[in-house]
């Protein structure tokens, strides 16, 4: 285009930036931004918001702040909810929760209505920082500004419930009650040892059937985390994993080849990953008792660490394996743990009963 003497307009540049963002070519996106400024190519709010989204994806705080100033000073229109949301996501991605809260306050002071994406991102960040009261305040602000709690907000509240302490649980469940009374009822069923598996399965499957596809697995992950973290009956985590597997949420967890058996824990929460591992070890022990041919190598994959969530899972699972004294060690690939089959079999024979009791 440039060789033909044609100058790109805002739509062309925005389309190119979206391609870079999808390919995770952050450096290319920033280089394009510099060319835009140097050549004084036309920009609009949508283009700036796309650039800010790139900054949010890569945690480019200084670049995002510079862009935000340009939006405020160089455009005839004011920043919109997507502009502020990208700034909130950027601050959350680098763990600057106070800066994210300040951006929310600026958004509200500017008369801009927050959106679901910004609120859930901020609530998650506050939850990781153990600031549950602030997360509840953000939920109240969102509802007070007319946001109708949807599956994404319910998933966020479930995540908060999985990480909060006992004294904060009531506050989180109070918010969840306003968003989805059925999820609160299910959580109480899970904590009741008298409730039978068939009742849990019926209620969970009903909830999952009504939920959007992209939140079903996060719902199940968080419910498993809640069961493990709150000391619910030990069988509950396994029951939820089984129901989720039946529902098609955990397909591809295990891959048994002729020389290697692997467990793929990507996209699982920490609690769900531990539960899946414990089930795998019990399956391995059953195979030993049945005199099946076992592999030379066993491997576990938690993710390569590109995303904050997979970094957290890798670290947490590494600590978990050390706690169990399991004979797995990290290979050259980040997020990959490998052990000799014979070593795991020897260890699993002595540990399976304990794993079942702590699942």
The structure tokens 């968003």 sit at: 179
- Please, are residues 285 and 349 in contact by the beta-carbon 8 Å criterion? yes
- Please, are residues 289 and 298 in contact by the beta-carbon 8 Å criterion? no
- Please, are residues 110 and 104 in contact by the beta-carbon 8 Å criterion? no
How sure is the predictor about 157, in pLDDT bands with cuts at 50, 70 and 90? very high
- Please, are residues 155 and 215 in contact by the beta-carbon 8 Å criterion? yes
User: For 122-136, what is the mean pLDDT?
Assistant: 96
- List the structure tokens of 92: 């959350």
pLDDT at 249: 96
Cα 298 off chain centre by? 26
3 state DSSP class of 336: strand
How sure is the predictor about 309, in pLDDT bands with cuts at 50, 70 and 90? very low
pLDDT at 355: 54
> Positive or negative CA dihedral for 339, 342, 347, 353?
positive
Kindly list the domain boundaries of the chain, sorted by start residue.
1-147, 149-251, 254-358
In this prediction, what percent of the chain has a pLDDT beyond 70? 95
Beta carbons within 8 Å of 98's beta carbon, 6+ residues apart:
none
| CATH architecture, domain defined by 254-358 | 2-Layer Sandwich (3.30)
User: For 165-190, what is the mean pLDDT?
Assistant: 96
User: For 298-321, what is the mean pLDDT?
Assistant: 76
How sure is the predictor about 284, in pLDDT bands with cuts at 50, 70 and 90? confident
Alpha-carbon distance of 158 to 175, in angstroms, equals 10
DSSP H helices, 129-165, are: 132-144, 151-163
User: For 352-359, what is the mean pLDDT?
Assistant: 52
User: For 107-114, what is the mean pLDDT?
Assistant: 95
Mean pLDDT of the chain: 91
Alpha-carbon distance of 131 to 196, in angstroms, equals 35
The structure tokens 């009741």 sit at: 192
Beta carbons within 8 Å of 292's beta carbon, 6+ residues apart:
none
Which of 90-94, 239-243, 285-289, 314-318 shows the lowest per-residue confidence on average (mean pLDDT)? 285-289
Total length of the chain: 359
**Cα three-residue angle 142-139-54, rounded to 5 degrees:** 70
Query: Cα dist. 46→50, 82, 118, 331 in Å?
Result: 6, 9, 17, 43
pLDDT at 357 exceeding the cut of 60: no
How sure is the predictor about 285, in pLDDT bands with cuts at 50, 70 and 90? confident
In this prediction, what percent of the chain has a pLDDT beyond 90? 77
pLDDT at 90: 96
Alpha-carbon distance of 335 to 295, in angstroms, equals 21
Structure-model confidence comparison of residues 352 and 97, the more confident one:
97
- Please, are residues 275 and 252 in contact by the beta-carbon 8 Å criterion? no
pLDDT at 307: 43
pLDDT at 347 exceeding the cut of 90: no
3 state DSSP class of 265: coil
Cα 235 off chain centre by? 24
pLDDT at 82: 96
Among residues 266, 204, 274, 186, which one has the least CA distance to residue 234? 274
Give tens-digit pLDDT for 158-167.
999 999 998 8
How sure is the predictor about 304, in pLDDT bands with cuts at 50, 70 and 90? low
pLDDT at 145: 94
pLDDT at 131: 96
Burial tier of 56 (Cβ tally within 10 Å: 0-12, 13-18, 19+): buried
User: For 87-91, what is the mean pLDDT?
Assistant: 97
Give the CATH H-level superfamily of domain 1-147.
Tetratricopeptide repeat domain (1.25.40.10)
Alpha-carbon distance of 46 to 49, in angstroms, equals 5
Q: Report the predicted TM-score, pTM, of the whole model to 2 decimal places.
A: 0.88
Alpha-carbon distance of 35 to 116, in angstroms, equals 33
Give tens-digit pLDDT for 18-34.
999 999 888 899 899 99
């Amino acid at each position: 285009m440039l060789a033909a003497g044609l100058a790109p307009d805002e739509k062309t540049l925005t389309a190119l930036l979206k391609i870079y963002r999808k390919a995770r070519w952050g450096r290319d996106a920033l280089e394009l931004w510099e060319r835009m400024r140097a050549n004084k190519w036309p920009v609009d709010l949508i283009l700036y918001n796309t650039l800010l989204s790139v900054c949010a994806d890569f945690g480019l705080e200084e670049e995002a702040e510079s862009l935000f100033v340009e939006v405020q000073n160089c455009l005839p229109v004011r920043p919109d909810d997507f502009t502020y949301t990208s700034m909130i996501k950027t601050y959350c991605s680098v763990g600057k929760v106070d800066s994210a809260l300040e951006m929310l306050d600026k958004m509200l002071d500017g008369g801009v209505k927050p959106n679901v994406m910004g609120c859930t991102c901020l609530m998650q960040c506050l939850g990781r920082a153990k600031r549950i009261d602030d997360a509840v305040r953000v939920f109240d602000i969102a509802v007070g500004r007319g946001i109708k709690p949807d599956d994404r907000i319910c998933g966020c509240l479930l995540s908060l419930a999985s990480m909060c302490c006992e004294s904060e649980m009531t506050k989180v469940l109070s918010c969840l009650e306003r968003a989805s009374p059925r999820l609160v009822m299910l959580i109480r069923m899970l904590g009741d040892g008298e409730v039978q598996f068939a009742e849990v399965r019926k209620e969970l499957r009903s909830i999952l059937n009504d939920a959007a596809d992209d939140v079903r697995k996060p719902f199940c992950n968080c419910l498993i985390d809640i069961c493990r973290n709150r000391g619910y009956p030990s069988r509950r985590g396994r029951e939820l994993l089984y129901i989720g597997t039946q529902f098609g949420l955990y397909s591809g967890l295990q891959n048994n080849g002729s020389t290697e058996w692997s467990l793929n824990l990507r996209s699982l929460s920490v609690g769900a990953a531990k539960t899946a591992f414990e089930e795998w070890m019990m399956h391995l022990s059953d195979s030993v008792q049945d005199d099946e041919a076992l592999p030379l190598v066993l491997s576990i994959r938690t993710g390569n660490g590109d995303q904050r969530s997979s970094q957290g899972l890798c670290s947490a699972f590494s600590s978990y394996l050390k706690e169990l004294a399991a004979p797995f060690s990290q290979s050259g690939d980040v997020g990959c743990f490998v052990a000799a089959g014979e070593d795991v079999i020897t260890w699993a024979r002595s540990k399976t009963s304990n794993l079942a009791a702590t699942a």
